[in-house]
Amino acid sequence: MADKENVLSPEELDALAAGVKDGSIESNTGLNTQLKPVKHDLVNEESAGGMNTSAINPINERFLILLKQRLSGIIKTPVNGAAEEVSIQTYGEFIGRLKAPQAINVIRARPLHGEALVIIDPNLIAECFNSFFGSSTASEASGSGDKEFTRTELSINKILMAEIYNSLQEAWAPIQPLTCTGVDFTSDPKKVKTMKFGRLFEFTDRNKNAEFHWRIGIPISTLILALLAIPMSRSEPRQGQYNKIFIGVVTFIIYFNLLSAGKSWLENGLVDHRFGLWWVHVLMLFALSVLIIKNNNPHWYRLNRAEDSN
């Protein structure tokens, strides 16, 4: 219990504040009093970079306490667990560690930006099934090894997600009121997409701009490579049929490496976002034009060389 005898009264606090204001009380104690607190706006935050993740830990702990209480009421068994500290990692690293089957729920928590994953262990769904019906789940694995959730298990997933939404909204309420809604569900981590292609147009962030150009670059490069294969497939009368296969493989490697390097340069700001990866496609289209002209005018290159020699 605090010692109330050492607490200043309201009158003393007012007198202290007035003395600091009129200068009669020295306030220059060597501390940097010019610093001002800056409010972190979670609603308009588009990236986790620079975020004070330790500030999220108390919210996670409150969320876990609320969720354990609700889960205990569902499975009629005390639920234990501890919240891990918040950490930042790439999406690829996180999703790469997941192995099917998983109950992967894609959600939105408005007004926060983007979408999030809520992953429920199938063992928890099986525990709930056993608590409800007194038997184990009857779902089977498909031919690819992925678990096929039954309708009953999907219903249990919805029940659990409802409790997760309630716990999450209540935990965040003192900081930022949230409205949680479901977007998608899958059992295969490889099929998860947390951002629709069209939403990439809404961002000016370098990483998202690079991702946009990368996604549209794949089908464009496929088309250009298919067009390149036409002139490269033509051979001279006494030339081997497979002589140009090596050239085609080298062309593909160069094209793909240029796209990968260009994506990295976009992310690091070394290439202006207006250029994107278009310059790579333009280079390949130029090479395609040269090949087409050379094939349609077989003596063009030889005539140019003869003129240069004269």
DSSP structure class, residue 183? E
Q: Are residues 100 and 171 in the same domain?
A: yes
d(CA 281, CA 217): 8
Which of 195, 196, 200, 213 lies closest to 274, judged by CA? 213
pLDDT more than 90, % of the chain: 7
Q: Are residues 183 and 246 in the same domain?
A: no
Q: Are residues 175 and 270 in the same domain?
A: no
Q: Residue 30 pLDDT more than 70?
A: no
pLDDT in tens, 53-75: 677 788 888 899 999 988 888 88
Residue-range definition of the domain harbouring residue 80 = 53-193
pLDDT in tens, 33-47: 565 655 555 555 555
Alpha helices in 24-174 (DSSP H): 57-75, 91-96, 122-133, 151-172
What's the whole-model pTM score? 0.51
Does residue 140 belong to any structural domain of this protein? yes
122: CB partners within 8 A, 6+ apart: 101, 102, 103, 147, 149
| 294 contacts 230 by C-beta, under 8 angstroms | no
Radius of gyration in angstroms for the set of CA atoms belonging to the chain, rounded to a whole number: 31
Which of 115, 83, 117, 122 lies closest to 99, judged by CA? 122
Does residue 5 belong to any structural domain of this protein? no
Does residue 106 belong to any structural domain of this protein? yes
Domain end marker among 193, 209, 230: 193
Does residue 85 belong to any structural domain of this protein? yes
d(CA 120, CA 117): 10
DSSP structure class, residue 83? P
pLDDT more than 70, % of the chain: 72
- The shares of helix, strand and coil residues in the chain, as percent rounded to the nearest 5, are 55, 5, 40
Q: Residue 209 pLDDT more than 70?
A: yes
Does residue 305 belong to any structural domain of this protein? yes
Q: Are residues 221 and 284 in the same domain?
A: yes
Domain end marker among 161, 193, 225: 193
| 267 contacts 208 by C-beta, under 8 angstroms | no
Domain end marker among 150, 171, 193: 193
Does residue 57 belong to any structural domain of this protein? yes
Q: Are residues 92 and 128 in the same domain?
A: yes
